[in-house]
Chains A and B, each alone.
Chain A
Amino acid sequence: MGTNVETPRAVSVVILKGGVGKSTISMNLARQLSERGRVLFADLDPNGHATNGLGFEDAYQSDTNLGDVILDNGTATLSDLIQPTEFEFDLLPSSDTLEDVEKDLAGALQGSARVKTKIVDPLLGDRYDYIVFDCPAYPGMLNNNALVATGNVVIPIAPGSSSIGGYKRTMERLILPAREYIDVDVLTIVPNQIQNRIDQQTEDRELLENLNTADATADKVPSFARITADEFDAIDAGERRPPKPGIRHRAAISKSLKYNQPLQDYDPDNDQIPHFEELADIVATGGVDR
């Protein structure tokens, strides 16, 4: 592992909206990146969905948490916290006390930069080639830390107005304010949980058409969700079979977490795995390439 990595990269999977698939996408992205290099998957979401989903309930309940490493009075080291998994990547687990860490970070000097200076700077390019952060669904110091530490974001988005609202909040409250201080690259915007046809006026169609036609987002859509305006016309004229863009709703994706596994390990033949591979490509090369 870790042979062909030219540019180590840290990335945050973020959207200020729950239930869009942050944990699923970040975990499976980490899993596919582990085929290319050494990966740390960091769960910064206090709900611990990914940590518990991978079977690390004990770590989630542990007395040692992130705060013991990144806060001034901390007595633990990263090695006390990071756990190996059976899935080729290491895990920096969430904890049920992470919300307290959030409060302490708010009072700390340069509190937004703690994860960068204490975790990412010492580890990235040295012990790991890629670090993937699963972020909370609400704004706060943990999200700020992830953004400052990575400078790269992957934004999952699902059909429906509440998800699009979450995307807007993410830009307004997180990414644009951060850009007053640091460069933040949106590597890709990932349509997730797609299940309806796009040759009819569904919310799925609306999301995909908007993302694919807006100047600011069209370049960020992965190839597996890319449909040009001409292709939409051809689909509507019945000249072209409607494709199945985006990460599709699959029972195996939600089930895999119940069985404490990434999709690659739970169902290696699943038809959505190539999409997660493409996301890993995008992170490895630093953006969508057409």
Chain B
Amino acid sequence: MTDNPFDDLGTVSDDDSPSDSNDSAGETPTTDEPTTASATDADESVTSSAEPERDATDAADESSGPAFEYSEVRQRPLYARGETWDEFEDAVGITVVPELRKAGIRDEEKREIHDAVLRLAAQEPDRIAELIKSER
């Protein structure tokens, strides 16, 4: 058992590793304290210390666990019409998630999907311009 108060959410069985989650979170000067320098440092220290814990939660196979930690995420609001969101969420639910399941990936996170969407869009900027022009 780790000391993470949220461990009841996962099926933790084989974790006896001495460097558990709360130790690392508590001892390192973590958190984005509102002072100029420490904020980004904190995120980085969390990234590195969070790596081994991921195994404890859901260590079924090699691809388990998101490709990157939440601490790497930058939040930005996205503005799109309701029907576009619906279409997007349907596409994720009907195609993306089932594809992932077939590949044995069961724990995809919202951040991974959003990151993939933006990478896809960045690969086809001309197409984005076309879509906007054709809508006008």
Tell me, yes or no, whether A binds B. Answer: yes
| Cα(A100)–Cα(B8), bound, Å | 19
| Cα(A182)–Cα(B31), bound, Å | 17
**A side interface size, CB within 8 A:** 46
* Contact A167/B6 with A177-B25, A180-B57 known, Cβ cut-off 8 Å: no
Within 8 A of B (CB), among A180-204: 180-186, 189
| Cα(A177)–Cα(B46), bound, Å | 10
Is A213 touching B46 in the complex (CB atoms < 8 A)? no
| Cα(A171)–Cα(B71), bound, Å | 12
Is B71 touching A110 in the complex (CB atoms < 8 A)? no
Is B9 touching A214 in the complex (CB atoms < 8 A)? no
Of the listed stretches B34-42, B92-100, B120-128, name the one at the interface; the rest are far from the partner chain.
B34-42
Within 8 A of B (CB), among A159-179: 164, 167-168, 171-174, 176-179
Is B34 touching A217 in the complex (CB atoms < 8 A)? yes
Is A177 touching B21 in the complex (CB atoms < 8 A)? yes
* Contact A171/B30 with A180-B57, A214-B35, A287-B75 known, Cβ cut-off 8 Å: yes
| Cα(A160)–Cα(B82), bound, Å | 42
Interface centre among A110, A171, A177 (most CB of B within 10 A): A177
- Min CB distance A195 to B, Å, is 19
| Cα(A255)–Cα(B31), bound, Å | 35
**B side interface size, CB within 8 A:** 39
Q: Tell yes or no: A111 within 8 A of B by CB.
A: yes
* Contact A139/B5 with A6-B82, A177-B25, A181-B57 known, Cβ cut-off 8 Å: yes
Is B34 touching A210 in the complex (CB atoms < 8 A)? yes
Is B33 touching A177 in the complex (CB atoms < 8 A)? no
Is A179 touching B71 in the complex (CB atoms < 8 A)? yes
* Contact A180/B4 with A6-B85, A217-B34 known, Cβ cut-off 8 Å: yes
Interface centre among A139, A167, A216 (most CB of B within 10 A): A216
Is B9 touching A110 in the complex (CB atoms < 8 A)? yes
| Cα(A216)–Cα(B39), bound, Å | 5
| Cα(A113)–Cα(B25), bound, Å | 22
Name the B residues within 8 Å of A180 (CB-CB): 4, 6, 21, 50, 53-54, 57
Q: Which 7 A-B pairs have the closest CB atoms?
A: A216-B32, A216-B39, A171-B31, A210-B34, A214-B39, A179-B70, A287-B77
A-B contact pairs, 27 of them (CB 8 A): A6-B82, A110-B8, A112-B8, A113-B8, A113-B9, A139-B5, A141-B5, A167-B33, A172-B26, A176-B25, A176-B30, A177-B21, A178-B6, A179-B50, A179-B69, A180-B54, A185-B75, A211-B34, A214-B38, A215-B32, A215-B39, A215-B40, A216-B40, A217-B39, A219-B75, A285-B79, A287-B76
Q: Name 19 extra pairs, CB < 8 A, besides A164-B33, A183-B70.
A: A110-B8, A111-B8, A140-B5, A144-B6, A148-B9, A157-B34, A167-B31, A171-B31, A172-B25, A172-B31, A173-B5, A174-B5, A181-B57, A214-B36, A215-B32, A216-B39, A217-B39, A285-B77, A287-B75
